[in-house]
Structure 1
Amino acid sequence: MSVGFEPVSVAAPPSSRPPLIGMHEQAVEAATHLAEIFAKKASERDRERALPWVEVEAFSQSGLWGITVPKEFGGPGLSPKTAAEVIATIGAADGSLSQIPQNHYYALEVLRVGGSWEQKRFFYDRVLAGERFGNALAEIGQKDFKRRTKLFREAGEWFVDGQKFYCTGAIFAHWIPTLAIAEEEGKQVGYLVIVPRDARGVTVIDDWDGFGQRVTGSGSVRFERVKIEERWIIPFQASFETPTTIGPFAQLMHAAIDLGIGRGAYQEMVRFIRERSRPWIDANVERASDDPLTMSAVGQVKVKLRAAEVLLDRAAAEVETAQTEMTESAVAAASIAVAEARILTTKAGLLAATKLFELSGTSSTASEDNLDRYWRNVRTHTLHDPVRWKYQAVGNYYLNDKLPPRHGAL
């Protein structure tokens, strides 16, 4: 799988301790400022597949990667709504950059739900110091969804061995949380093992070659008999055997990515129509922006995006409620609310990216503008998990009072 690709160097230690962002408004303001900077070279990075090392460092050094650290461990403990809005704001500027911290926030939620007090104290402090989490959860080449990366013990020491793909953020990370399976009393039990990026036996390879989300660093990670410490092992499977917010929180972040890309496509569409598009001859108007059919179509995109924003905010509120009272009913309500948001952010993002070309005209397809990155990015990311199954879960919940399944894809 990695033939022709080279291993990636290790991320440098944080240059300084990031500031603590204590309020929602501060976080959105910081994200908006960064988005303006990131947007300037987003097309260039995408075209050249240039990994955004400088941008990721600026992103994490802003303090935004520590906003979900709980207050009792020195963080601001900001809400899921804040995290989602940060991701969507960055996503409008660069869809790849908005996906990179998704697994970082996800790992922090797994830690909050399943980690011991000592584990939380250790890892949350590392995050507040500016260190980043990536991910190495998925594996390819099999159809049964079974994980084959092993966690095992020999002579009193723990090791991880296996290979992962779709490892978004691992390239830029200081720690790589990986899903590994241990044999316990004849059964396979899943754990999230947070592995140091610079540990002996860890190899990260930049071999992601999808047509979208090109610079997310979503390549491969190999673990070759990597020695780990017991305090880096966090229960994972057990966190899905009881109601927790891990699944809906993860999906909320994915919905925010799609919404952000849709916002960016909409902004480009409006700019292009105003500045460069020609009106259709039968409209009998001087400017494309005065074409009544164009105005109607722009309105449809805006309404769809606005509705997606409302559902995302509602879903974030449900997740926050479930975080404070992780009952079966509260987690189910959060999962369904997030599924509804994911359905609409998928539809809205794809609609905005498609209408960008339909309403802007042939000149918008010029390769120098690289506007197709919006469609490529949102189409690629929305394949993360199928919307058709979210419709089924939502319908089964309202029609038959069936609670949705508990896993990271709903």
Structure 2
Amino acid sequence: MSSDDRILHRQAALVAGRPAPHIPPRRQPAHRIADDAEAIATAEALARDFAGGAVARDRERRLPLAEIERFSQSGLWAITVPKAYGGAGVSAATLAEVTAIISAADSSIGQIPQNHFYMVEALRLAGTEEQKRHYFSRILDGDRLGNAFTEIGTKTPVDYKTRFAERDGKLLLNGQKFYATGSLFAHIIVAVAKNEAGRVHIVFIDRATPGVDLVDDWSSFGQRSTGSGTVTFDDVEISPFQVVDHEVVFEQPTPMGPLAQIIHAAVQVGIARGAWKETLSYVRAHARPFFELEIEHGYEDPHSIHAVGDVSVRVHAANALLARAGQRLDAAIAAPDAKSVAEASIAVAEVKAYGTEAAQLAATKLIELGGARSTLETYGLDRFWRNARTHSLHDPVRWKYHHVGNYYLNGQLPPRHGAI
């Protein structure tokens, strides 16, 4: 993209969106989570607070700036930093459960750190010791990583025009990203870019670096407050220390792909939990009985009872699949090889597929059983369906089923990339 094109896009984005919010430097180091149990307890406490403002944030497209600050300062954004570097090194099962707990309260907040955790894993697998010590220390202190992966206008979402190359003795990064979830809240933006040889790398860039431009132009009908807008890099000067080879983590069996995906799966399972919980509460409080029935309350309707039973089974099944996938992923992290990584990938694909469908069913039944009044804007109940549907588009469920079926029927190992 030429400089003139980038200027025109920024002008168009500013018309459609808003300039990125100011993210002040951290005032103090974040709390350090000690273990898995503390991570779960902290997530549950935060979720209770986050749930209260979820409807208003969604309705107003209000970025959860204060909530994200609390989230990262709680220490939860550093829970996957390995113990050898001062982190809690929690299990993948715990990471998934933390994500589901937060997502049940507000799935936009639950999704925002997905790419942060992905990059922590990239550093663990491919970073140098110096890079690990530097960036893990910053993450433990509370710095947040933001995503600058996907581009628009390319053949597929994993085609990258963003490049870095040497010019006049400087290493310069140029390109533009969309769907940049987390970048508006980030202290460090992590860009996927190709070098001059065409090999894919990830580049860690401090937010205030000259040439970095962020615009809040995310206009989707769901996941409204993820801030997944546009990031532009215009002759951004970088150093080799900021660059990590990304292709290397997929050239051999590693847990990189299933770890990325279990967080997305957990977002869907969280939405399913949240919609199911709202259904129980709303139907008990507000649903009216069908006029053909001689009953006193809507929750006595036999068809409603059956539908709630159906959704309950599916949500509980999704919970079990998420826990199972976490266990398989932990086994692959402990002893990565072709077999363990494939088993983890398939288990994660299963919960991603099933959890996505459970979330959409639960969200649909919430409105159906709630009746006409449940559609009123004041309740904001439609956010569950909109969020589940929007988030599901990261990678299609139909291909999850394909890889699962091909694995069990034909013994075909799933491909190694971040979407399986």
What TM bracket, shorter-length normalisation?
over 0.9
Following superposition, the deviation at residue 293 of structure 1 comes to: 1.4
Q: 2:374 aligns with which of 356, 361, 364?
A: 364
Where 2:148 maps in the other structure, the secondary structure is: coil
Alignment of 1:59-138 (within 5 A): 59-138=71-150
Following superposition, the deviation at residue 191 of structure 1 comes to: 0.2
Where 1:383 maps in the other structure, the secondary structure is: helix
Matched, 1:14 2:26: yes
Distance in 2 between residues matched to 1:154 and 1:374, nearest whole Å: 48
Matched, 1:277 2:283: no
1:193 maps to 203
Matched, 1:164 2:174: no
Distance in 2 between residues matched to 1:6 and 1:341, nearest whole Å: 36
TM-score normalized with structure 2 length: 0.95
8 A Cα contact 1:201 1:226, kept in partner: yes
Name the aligned partner's letter for residue 12 of structure 1: P
Following superposition, the deviation at residue 133 of structure 1 comes to: 0.4
Where 2:19 maps in the other structure, the secondary structure is: coil
Distance in 2 between residues matched to 1:113 and 1:401, nearest whole Å: 27
Following superposition, the deviation at residue 285 of structure 1 comes to: 1.6
Q: 1:387 aligns with which of 373, 377, 397?
A: 397
Question: Which structure 1 residue ranges, 4+ long, deviate > 4 Å from structure 2?
Answer: none
1:24 maps to 36
Matched, 1:147 2:160: yes
Distance in 1 between residues matched to 2:37 and 2:305, nearest whole Å: 32
Name the aligned partner's letter for residue 72 of structure 1: A
Name the aligned partner's letter for residue 342 of structure 1: K
Could you tell me which runs of 5 or more consecutive residues in structure 1 were left unpaired when the two chains were aligned: none
8 A Cα contact 2:269 2:355, kept in partner: yes
Distance in 1 between residues matched to 2:74 and 2:144, nearest whole Å: 12
Where 1:195 maps in the other structure, the secondary structure is: strand
Q: 2:235 aligns with which of 205, 225, 228?
A: 225
Following superposition, the deviation at residue 46 of structure 1 comes to: 0.7
Q: 2:258 aligns with which of 223, 248, 251?
A: 248
8 A Cα contact 1:10 1:198, kept in partner: no
8 A Cα contact 1:20 1:63, kept in partner: yes
Where 2:415 maps in the other structure, the secondary structure is: coil
Distance in 2 between residues matched to 1:81 and 1:284, nearest whole Å: 47
2:246 maps to 236
Could you tell me which runs of 5 or more consecutive residues in structure 2 were left unpaired when the two chains were aligned: 1-8
Following superposition, the deviation at residue 155 of structure 1 comes to: 4.0
Q: 2:321 aligns with which of 311, 327, 340?
A: 311
Distance in 2 between residues matched to 1:40 and 1:219, nearest whole Å: 25
Following superposition, the deviation at residue 164 of structure 1 comes to: 0.2
Distance in 2 between residues matched to 1:15 and 1:58, nearest whole Å: 12
8 A Cα contact 1:249 1:319, kept in partner: yes
| CA deviations over 1:109-167 (Å, ceiling 9, x no partner) | 11111111111111000000110001000001122442000011234432211000000
1:174 maps to 187
8 A Cα contact 1:10 1:197, kept in partner: no
Where 2:174 maps in the other structure, the secondary structure is: strand
Q: 1:400 aligns with which of 401, 410, 420?
A: 410
8 A Cα contact 2:100 2:267, kept in partner: yes
Distance in 1 between residues matched to 2:402 and 2:384, nearest whole Å: 28
8 A Cα contact 1:140 1:164, kept in partner: yes
Distance in 2 between residues matched to 1:392 and 1:190, nearest whole Å: 27
Following superposition, the deviation at residue 6 of structure 1 comes to: 3.5
TM-score normalized with structure 1 length: 0.97
8 A Cα contact 1:283 1:292, kept in partner: no
Name the aligned partner's letter for residue 179 of structure 1: V
Where 1:183 maps in the other structure, the secondary structure is: coil
Name the aligned partner's letter for residue 23 of structure 1: D
| CA deviations over 1:34-90 (Å, ceiling 9, x no partner) | 111111111111111111110100110111111000000010100111111111111
